[in-house]
């Protein structure tokens, strides 16, 4: 009585591949589902310029995710652009507070993914938006024809370097070891483009006046510091899970902040499930995030059926 909160069976925090898939499966189980999209962190998938390892799909990450979200809303899931600020458990129900509203849910799936990791060197923070970027697809255009550096040796760094080369940047890759971490398929694409690599080198500082002008590096093998003139530094050294939202719920996380889940994507808190890059799963791919999302939705459905069946009958 008097409580005008919108009620859902299942609320999904996140609208990346894990969240969108959980929404598709949740509504198809007959649940009333809402899934929430935030700008920070944005889904890593939307920033992926070319998808070559999602079976049956060819295109960019934005298009793929758009199709997933449309599929979820077509079946009746409610998509909301609201920032989830707090989740609390009150008895059997969850209260989800966003920047705009407060909602009630019987179960929650956390699919918040991760945000870019920072190096933590002088100049990095100061030059964000003035040459330091964490997203080549967002900012690469500003640096066509200019000399730019990508930091990192994983799939993201290699993809970004390829993308920047394709759009006409004079790009080099800077990596702290003498071999790349990226999958072999990405490596062949990368090396075939003859993108120069500065090996065994760690960034020390980023310098400039109004905008980035150079990066100072330390070569670990030669034990010497040197600098390279660049107009932009694209940092792609991995992600950190965006899981602060679960701290008040008592959801267990590992030492790096990833949510601990079992094979059913259950967390230690009944009614709270997690899926995708925010979990302590071994492989962080769009396809595995989708799998996690489907499993999490199934587990949430079983949980709601078991816990609330008396209320529904
Ligand atoms: P990642 O695989 O964790 O690689 C991070 C890279 O940054 C590594 O090469 C690492 O060096 C380097 N690095 C880490 N900290 C550093 C520091 N402080 N200074 C300098 N270099 C540093 O991260 P990611 O490439 O962002 O990928 C994240 C996850 O998403 C991975 O599981 C990846 O497979 C997945 N992903 C998949 C695709 C795809 O399949 N299409 C695309 C993008 C990302 P070391 O190698 O020495 O550790």
Q: What's the pLDDT band for 40 if we cut at 50, 70, 90?
A: confident
Tell me: do 244 and 109 sit in the same domain.
yes
Domain assignment of residue 133, yes or no: yes
Pocket of ligand 1, beta carbon within 6 A = 48, 53, 119, 151-157, 159, 176-177, 181, 202, 236-239, 284-285
Tell me: do 228 and 245 sit in the same domain.
no
Tell me the pLDDT tens digit for each residue of 20-34.
Answer: 999 999 999 999 999
**What pLDDT, on a 0 to 100 scale, did the predictor assign at position 4?**
79
Domain of residue 281: give its range. 6-115+239-312
267 closest CA partner among 118, 111, 154:
111
Please report which helix (H) or strand (E) contains residue 203, including its range.
strand 201-208
Known catalytic residue at 244: no
Q: Which of 3, 99, 138, 178 is catalytic?
A: 138
Tell me: do 110 and 12 sit in the same domain.
yes
Domain assignment of residue 1, yes or no: no
Tell me: do 244 and 104 sit in the same domain.
yes
**What pLDDT, on a 0 to 100 scale, did the predictor assign at position 2?**
46
> How many angstroms does the Cα of residue 191 sit away from the middle of ligand 1?
17
Q: Which of 3, 40, 99, 139 is catalytic?
A: 139
Last residue of a domain, one of 207, 235, 263: 235
Known catalytic residue at 139: yes
Tell me: do 110 and 243 sit in the same domain.
yes
Is the model's pLDDT at 311 over the cut of 60? no
**What pLDDT, on a 0 to 100 scale, did the predictor assign at position 3?**
59
Say how many domains are in the chain: 2
Known catalytic residue at 248: no
Last residue of a domain, one of 193, 219, 235: 235
| Residue-by-residue DSSP string for 7-57 | EEEEEEE--SHHHHHHHHHHHHTT--EEEE--STTPPGGGG-S-B-SSTT-
Question: How many residues make up the chain in this entry?
Answer: 313
pTM of this structure? 0.88
> How many angstroms does the Cα of residue 123 sit away from the middle of ligand 1?
21
Tell me the pLDDT tens digit for each residue of 244-302.
Answer: 999 999 999 999 999 999 999 999 999 999 999 999 998 999 999 999 999 999 999 99
Tell me: do 229 and 277 sit in the same domain.
no
> How many angstroms does the Cα of residue 117 sit away from the middle of ligand 1?
10
Domain assignment of residue 154, yes or no: yes
Last residue of a domain, one of 204, 235, 266: 235
Domain assignment of residue 78, yes or no: yes
């Amino acid at each position: 009585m008097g409580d005008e909160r919108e009620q859902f069976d299942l609320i999904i925090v996140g609208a990346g591949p894990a969240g969108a898939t959980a929404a598709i499966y949740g509504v198809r189980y007959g649940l009333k589902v809402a899934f929430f999209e935030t700008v920070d962190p944005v889904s890593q998938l939307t920033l992926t310029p070319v998808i070559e390892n999602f079976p049956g799909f060819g295109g960019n990450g934005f298009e793929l995710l758009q199709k997933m979200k449309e599929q979820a809303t077509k079946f009746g899931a409610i998509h909301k652009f609201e920032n989830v600020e707090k989740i609390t458990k009150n008895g059997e129900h969850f209260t989800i507070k966003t920047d705009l509203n407060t909602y009630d849910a019987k179960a929650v799936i956390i699919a918040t993914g991760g945000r870019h990791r920072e190096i933590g060197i002088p100049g990095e923070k100061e030059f964000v938006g003035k040459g330091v970027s964490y997203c080549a697809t967002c900012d690469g255009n500003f640096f066509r024809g200019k000399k730019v550096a990508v930091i990192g040796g994983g799939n993201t760094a290699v993809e970004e370097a390829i993308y920047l080369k394709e759009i006409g940047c004079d790009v080099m890759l800077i990596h702290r070891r003498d071999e790349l971490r990226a999958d072999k398929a990405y490596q062949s694409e990368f090396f075939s483009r003859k993108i120069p690599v500065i090996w065994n080198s760690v960034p020390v500082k980023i310098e400039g006046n109004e905008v980035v002008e150079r990066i100072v590096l330390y070569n670990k093998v030669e034990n010497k510091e040197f600098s390279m003139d660049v107009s932009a530094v694209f940092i792609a050294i991995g992600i950190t899970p965006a899981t602060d939202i679960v701290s008040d719920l008592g959801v267990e996380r590992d030492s790096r902040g990833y949510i601990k889940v079992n094979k059913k994507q259950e967390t230690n808190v009944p009614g709270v499930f997690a899926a995708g890059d925010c979990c302590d799963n071994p492989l962080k791919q769009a396809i595995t995030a989708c799998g996690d999302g489907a499993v999490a939705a199934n587990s949430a459905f079983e949980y709601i059926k078991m816990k609330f069946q008396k209320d529904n009958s």
